[in-house]
């Protein structure tokens, strides 16, 4: 079994770490650099910085925050939100990001994924979507921080992203985001069963069992969470120990 990664998410707005439900009703959590250092000390395998307002505000991800965080930590930092061009991706990688996630701009123009993979390699590019369940079945891609429905099938989009060369996928469920009721296991299975790259489960973790379900039932290769980590409801060491006790290979 591959080693399962535990990844705290750093949702950024106006230079501050925030948390909320479906990107609204946001609460200030603290300084993102201080939190990043604390998570590394706690044993996080990676961090994922999401500039949750970048696409909605029509701008690129704040490079300065990426530089500050990567100077302060040694674990990998993935960055997503507002990557509108290959040049945007290059600036983030030069600022110290290990990987860059392609979000709303790549939904509007999927060729951006192909261009970024050709420039930087599969291992540096993540395919990601905000997906919401449709009344008639399946899931739809939403853009601009979950504000705009696109009519695009989320599973098909992610499969196409893998065909275009991304090295892994980050799946954010708008139905479970911030709800603490568990990851969308059906969505995870629908994607992980059709691709041969690692899948990162995002949105919905509320207790230790949810992390295990994402791996054992959803086929996830990594589990990402924010709120439960930020407020100490669950800690990174607790997640790792819980997974290890159930036969899941983790870095202790």
Tell me what pLDDT residue 82 has.
77
Mean pLDDT of 39-56: 83
66-97 per-position pLDDT tens digit = 999 999 999 999 999 878 899 999 999 999 99
Q: How many alpha carbons fall within 13 Å on the CB side of residue 92?
A: 31
Tell me which of 65 and 75 has the higher pLDDT.
75
**pLDDT value of residue 58:** 44
pTM (predicted TM-score): 0.92
Lowest mean per-residue pLDDT among 28-32, 52-56, 199-203: 52-56
Average pLDDT over residues 91-107: 94
At 56, is the pLDDT very low, low, confident or very high (cuts 50, 70, 90)? very low
Q: Using N-to-C axis directions, what is the helix angle for 208-216 and 185-192, rounded to 10°?
A: 30
CA angle 187, 191, 192 (to 5 degrees): 110
- Residue 144 pLDDT greater than 50, yes or no: yes
What is the torsion angle, in degrees rounded to the nearest 10, for the CA atoms of residue 34, residue 46, residue 165 and residue 131? -70
Active-site residues, by number, are 11, 130
Tell me the torsion sign for CA atoms 189, 211, 6, 250. Answer: negative
The most confident of the ranges 17-26, 145-154, 180-189 is: 180-189
Q: How much is the pLDDT for 146?
A: 84
Q: Which of 183, 230, 239, 226 is nearest to 6 (CA)?
A: 239
- What's the chain's average pLDDT? 91
| Least confident segment among 19-28, 33-42, 183-192, 200-209 | 19-28
User: What fold is seen in the domain 5-245?
Assistant: TIM Barrel (3.20.20)
Banded pLDDT at 61 (limits 50, 70, 90): low
Q: What is the pLDDT of residue 23?
A: 47
Res 30 pLDDT > 50: yes
Residue bearing the bigger pLDDT, 25 or 135: 135
């Amino acid at each position: 079994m591959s080693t399962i990664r535990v990844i705290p998410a750093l949702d950024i707005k106006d230079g501050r770490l925030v948390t909320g439900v479906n990107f609204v009703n946001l609460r200030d959590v603290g300084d993102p650099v201080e939190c990043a250092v604390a998570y590394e000390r706690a044993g996080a395998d990676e961090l994922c910085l999401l500039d949750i307002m970048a696409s909605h505000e029509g701008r690129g991800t704040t490079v300065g925050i990426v530089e500050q965080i990567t100077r302060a930590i040694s674990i990998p930092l993935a960055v997503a939100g507002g990557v509108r061009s290959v040049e945007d991706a290059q600036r983030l990688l030069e600022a110290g990001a290990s990987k860059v996630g392609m979000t709303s701009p790549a939904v509007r123009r999927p060729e951006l994924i192909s261009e970024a993979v050709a420039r930087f390699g599969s291992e540096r590019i993540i395919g990601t979507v905000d997906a919401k369940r449709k009344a008639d079945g399946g899931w739809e891609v939403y853009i601009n921080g979950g504000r705009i429905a696109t009519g695009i099938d989320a599973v098909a989009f992610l499969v196409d992203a893998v065909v275009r060369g991304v090295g892994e996928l980050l799946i954010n469920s708008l139905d479970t985001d911030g709800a603490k009721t568990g990851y969308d296991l059906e969505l995870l299975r629908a994607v992980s069963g059709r691709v041969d790259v690692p899948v990162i489960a995002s949105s919905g973790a509320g207790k230790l069992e949810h992390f295990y379900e994402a791996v054992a039932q959803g086929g996830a290769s990594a589990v990402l969470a924010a709120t439960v980590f930020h407020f100490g409801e669950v800690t990174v060491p607790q997640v790792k120990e819980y997974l290890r006790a159930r036969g899941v290979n983790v870095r202790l």
